[in-house]
Amino acid sequence: MIPRKTAVQRRGAIDGENLSRAVSIQHYFSSRLLAWYDGHARDLPWRKSRDPYRVWLSEIMLQQTRVAAVLEHYRVFLKKFPTVEKLAAAREATVLALWSGLGYYRRARMLHAAAKKVTREHGGRFPETSLSLHQLPGIGRYTAAAIASIAFGEPVAAVDGNAERVLSRLFGGHHDERATWENAQDLLDRERPGDANQAMMELGATVCLPREPKCLLCPVSELCATRGDLPRISKAPPQTKRVIHFGLARRSGEVFLQQRSSKESLMPGMWELPPLTGDQHGQALFSLRHSITITDYSVRVTELAFPDEHAGNWIASSRLPALPLTGLARKILRKIEML
């Protein structure tokens, strides 16, 4: 179906032209973009399947997380939970343990809650429209549209950060959220909506890069209003630096860990080495770096002389792989080869 008023018309680029002209622009855009995608898309495991469970899992894992970090987690997660029913039946601690290293643990909890809902209320079958997917825990507008278009072929645009950047450059200006989604919807290929959405995002991830778009390689550069020449209105917030200390105590195959309170806003219920305050730490055994969102941490790990003075438990190294560890705890335990 042809949109009643295309984005190209909205921005006035073809004022006075008739609808068929707009349609042909849309068709040209789609065919160029999809041909490029067919030949250049990265070979990623979640692109081999249209199974809604796998599409959903990859979309949740990829939120605010690099593809390289997701690849191994995706493989291990699917091996452990090959179906939504298996995931729904798992203990939360097991789900969090497998999520460890991806960060933003609320996603894992929402994922688990959504799996239970799909199993309990939908007989293990995912709802097939973006509107009904949107009702599941942890599924926002973008994720609902991505799953609906990729798994079920619903002609609905999905706009993530990459697609938003491409659209703003294509249309030559900063648009509000509503206009951006309308523009995406107008350009969407109705025959292959899932591929079209992925193609737009892939273009943003590999060609229309934030700092230096590779316009010479862009399949739709002829239709682009800016060719990368759009002034930036927002700058990434500056990274802040912090030094933090943790205590390490080991004894014959065990390590002393403590569990974060369930009331913590960050990583509630996850396990970590006991954090130390200013007067508790001595000479560092070793240091490492760790980044969370806009903070770069310099992490100093000190011998913990009196672990019993801290709340916590001795944990056997054989239990560590199944324990929901913070990403930093996992990093430290790998460094000392307990994981």
Note the residues at the interface with ligand SF4 (CB under 6 A).
Answer: 166, 169-170, 207-208, 213, 215, 218, 220-221, 224, 226-228
Query: Which runs of consecutive H residues, i.e. helices, occur in the chain?
Result: 7-10, 19-40, 52-62, 67-80, 84-89, 92-99, 106-122, 130-133, 141-152, 161-170, 177-187, 193-206, 327-335
- Which is closer to ligand SF4, CB of 124 or CB of 228? 228
Q: Is 59 considered catalytic here?
A: yes
Three-state SS for 275? strand
Report, in Å, the least distance between residue 204 CB and ligand SF4. Answer: 8
* Rounded Cα gap, residues 34 and 191, in angstroms: 11
- Which is closer to ligand SF4, CB of 41 or CB of 284? 41
Active-site residue, from 59, 154, 164, 202 = 59
- Which is closer to ligand SF4, CB of 58 or CB of 162? 162
- Which is closer to ligand SF4, CB of 27 or CB of 289? 27
> How far is CA 25 from each of CA 159, 174, 293, 312, rounded to the nearest angstrom?
20, 21, 40, 64
Q: What is the token pair recorded at 76?
A: 């291990």
* Rounded Cα gap, residues 165 and 183, in angstroms: 12
Report, in Å, the least distance between residue 190 CB and ligand SF4. Answer: 21
Report, in Å, the least distance between residue 33 CB and ligand SF4. Answer: 10
Report, in Å, the least distance between residue 113 CB and ligand SF4. Answer: 37
Three-state SS for 337? coil
Annotated catalytic sites, by residue? 59
